[in-house]
Amino acid sequence: MKIKRKMFKFLSVALFAMLGSTVSTVANTQTLPCAPKVKGLHFTHPTYNYNSPVLLSNMPFDILLSYIILDSVLKYSDEAKDVVNSFLERFNSGQISYDNDTLNYAFKYMYSLSDYDPLIFFYNFLLRSGNKKIHPQYLFDDLVDCIEKTPNGEQKRRILRSPYILHIYVEETSMWIKDTSAPDAMCKDFTVVNAKVLDTIKGKTLPNINTLFLAKGLLDTTTDSGIPEAEETNAIPPKSNVNLIFDYCNQWGIDGRGRDWMILENGELCCYLKDKDGNPWIKPRREYIVLLAPNYECTYNGQFYYALWPVGGSYSHGMYPIENGTVMDEGNVWGWGETVPLETFKQNINTIINEIKNYGE
């Protein structure tokens, strides 16, 4: 009887599940076939049927069941849509408590799908509404808004919004140039990070770096000498000891960062993603905690193309340096202090993750 009750509860609330991970296969191309003018570092991933749940033979049973039920509920009827909207409205108006079973099981399965395979959840489910009555992205956004109102809500929101939370060692960095001529272009160059994952906190399936290519960009592997002079290339050959590659715009701003040392003499570098010496934020032979998310570009011939960027909205733009075994969280974004021992920082995140994923057990 106890098992039946648990299964009933699972079936009734699994409709609120979401997120995803990675897999890939594609040939290198010099341009994006679906966006030939776009420059940048891109991965590919196979697409699936718009109108069917993503069901793969190697998926665990609870993941399979979550996708089947969620897909059925989201495209069932306008009545189901009204029920979901009514529930969210009652929660936001205070009629439903944050410790409500349905809501917490929603967070639980949302996290599980996200952690299992971020890319399947991100593209093949989250962004593709198909014939569904309720758009998955809207439901996900509404649920994330709800979790912010729960205890440790800001940390939970950051965890759910980050498909990947990884402890990495950076083997080398390079740079690709997007635009050096247009004065109004925000992003002129990107740092490419070649890293080894030391610990997967969230996001069990990493992007397939063998599908990575640089579309219409200039690649430089010696960024110590300022603006590089490089040939146009599309290949990004990974080292044998690297299993993660991502990039970020060196001109991205850093929210709320008004430090005097961030302003150069000519006043041009107010809040860019640089260190206090004006160097790229991420450096070789250092460790970091990084929060990463796929950034969808386009779809063509059974493949979708995406970049892998850090999750912004913080002083460190989702990339936290580790110095002498201490995580540097400038601005105290996570709420545990600006300098936190590495193992304490990771344990704090895992404690919140366990609170989400082990609900009801």
Q: Which residues contact 46 (CB under 8 A, 6 or more apart)?
A: 23, 24, 25, 302, 303
- Identify which has the larger pLDDT, 78 or 328: 328
> For residue range 112-143, what is the model confidence (pLDDT) as tens digits?
989 999 988 876 666 666 666 677 777 788 88
Q: pTM score > 0.85 for this model?
A: no
Name the phi and psi angles at 286, rounded to 5: -130, 160
Per-residue model confidence as pLDDT tens digits over 216-271: 654 444 444 343 333 444 445 556 688 999 998 887 765 544 444 444 445 554 55
The position carrying tokens 């430089």 is 220
Q: Region 301-307: what's the mean pLDDT?
A: 87
Query: Buried b / exposed e across 65-98, counting CB within 10 Å, b at 16+?
Result: bbbbbbbebbbeeeebbeebeebbeebeeeebee
Query: DSSP assignment, residue 125?
Result: I
Could you report the per-residue pLDDT of 73-112, keeping only the tens digit for each? 777 656 667 777 787 788 777 787 777 787 888 888 889 9
Maximum average pLDDT range among 100-104, 170-174, 301-305? 170-174
User: Dihedral through CA 295, CA 333, CA 94, CA 10, nearest 10?
Assistant: 50
C-alpha torsion sign, points 118, 123, 125, 126: positive
Which has the closest alpha carbon to 177: 317, 37, 39, 29?
A: 39
Q: Which residues pair with 298 in a beta bridge?
A: 305
Alpha carbon distance 121, 219 (integer Å) = 31
